[in-house]
Amino acid sequence: LGAAFVQRYDRALAQVSTLQATKPPTLQPLQAKPLQLTHSGRPARSTHCCDKTMPLLLLLLALLLPAAAEATPSALLGINYGRVGNNLPPTTSALQLLAGLGVGRVRLYDTDPATLRSFANTGVELVIGVPDECLAAVSIPSGASSWVRSVIQPALPATKIAVLTVGNEVLTGANSSALSPSLLPAMQCIHDALVQLGLDKQVAVTTAHNLGVLATSYPPSSAYFRKDLVPVLCPILDFHARTGSPFLVNAYPYFAYAEDPAGVELEYALLEPGHGGVPDPSSGLRYPNMLVAQVDAVYHAIAAANRAAARTVEVRVSETGWPSAGDGNETGATPRNAARYNGNVMRLVGEGKGTPLRPDGALRVYMFALFNENMKPGPSSERNYGLFKPDGTPVYELAYRLPKDNATTSSGAGGT
């Protein structure tokens, strides 16, 4: 993480030693892990440290995390911090791992007050999820205003909240018919509540979509949204264009490979830099890996549905990852593949490049996830997307480390 990190770490240890002879907690070696996300259930609340070392640990973290921010000026890479498990460590331990990774952006799936307080004065920029079960309540002005005033406003400015994601994969989830009508009203009402408090330039409002919103994604230039979702997505795109918030998509090349291992080259799905790429015969562009192809497919779908919004709306990857283990029929879910994929995601983002369609805009990605979560429902892979085990040890070693310029400085609503 560079000299700034080392110097601040040394100063932190020196200050802690003057307060207590107890040896302060040490950071895990700088190792990254896999990140994944599928349909997230309601995150379980984590427990929190309450022993006598807590004040010293918080002091240490307050000194370390700003150093990570200094070493990372563009903050293109973030990580999903899901907590659907009964054996996960307290948030203070997660903060140590984040400091060691040099990641200054985190996506949370709930608004647990204790968790938000844990991130106060750390410099970590947060993407906060409005749970699906809250959509109806915040889809009316009074409900949204009450929620923002009671949950978001008290956390600011000590906790850096940059984005609110209203629901997760609402349009393609099991409860889509019940939740979809509330999605845009909830987004609009929450944004209006932020405007009333003068917070709309600081906090953006969006939602995260599954790639299932696309009727087709290959070749990217032929992608378009499902016809039944266009009436919902078009006004959402208008909202993004009007407020400047990003269009978020959960993109997993793993699923495409696992469903058709004979038809999808593993190296292409793993983002291996040596792969020759796949051409788009219509656009003439060549796609070096599947992730950027998926992102450009979304860009093309946006243009097909709402050309005016396509001029300004940015697509960001709110989740991507590769499982390190799975059931017998989950092809490719291995530690080696997970290490390769997630390392390549870090390399890709670290290069600061865009996609073939949008080469001038750096790709922004949140990896899934920080920990393996033992209570996530579904196949075994769902519980094995983490970079770390619950005890803080790496699930596997990554060959690539984040560059020193993976920053956390923000550029207004929606972060950088």
Catalytically annotated residues: 169, 319
- Distance from C-alpha of 279 to C-alpha of 338, rounded to nearest angstrom: 25
Encode 169-194: b = buried (16+ Cβ within 10 Å), e = exposed.
bbbbbeebeebbebbbbbbbbbbebb
- Quick check: 85 and 390 in contact, CB under 8 A? yes
- Distance from C-alpha of 205 to C-alpha of 136, rounded to nearest angstrom: 16
- Distance from C-alpha of 252 to C-alpha of 265, rounded to nearest angstrom: 14
Neighbour tally for 154: CB within 10 Å: 12
Q: CA 400, 406, 411: angle at the middle one, nearest 5?
A: 155
Rg (CA), the chain: 20
- Distance from C-alpha of 197 to C-alpha of 183, rounded to nearest angstrom: 22
- Quick check: 308 and 355 in contact, CB under 8 A? no
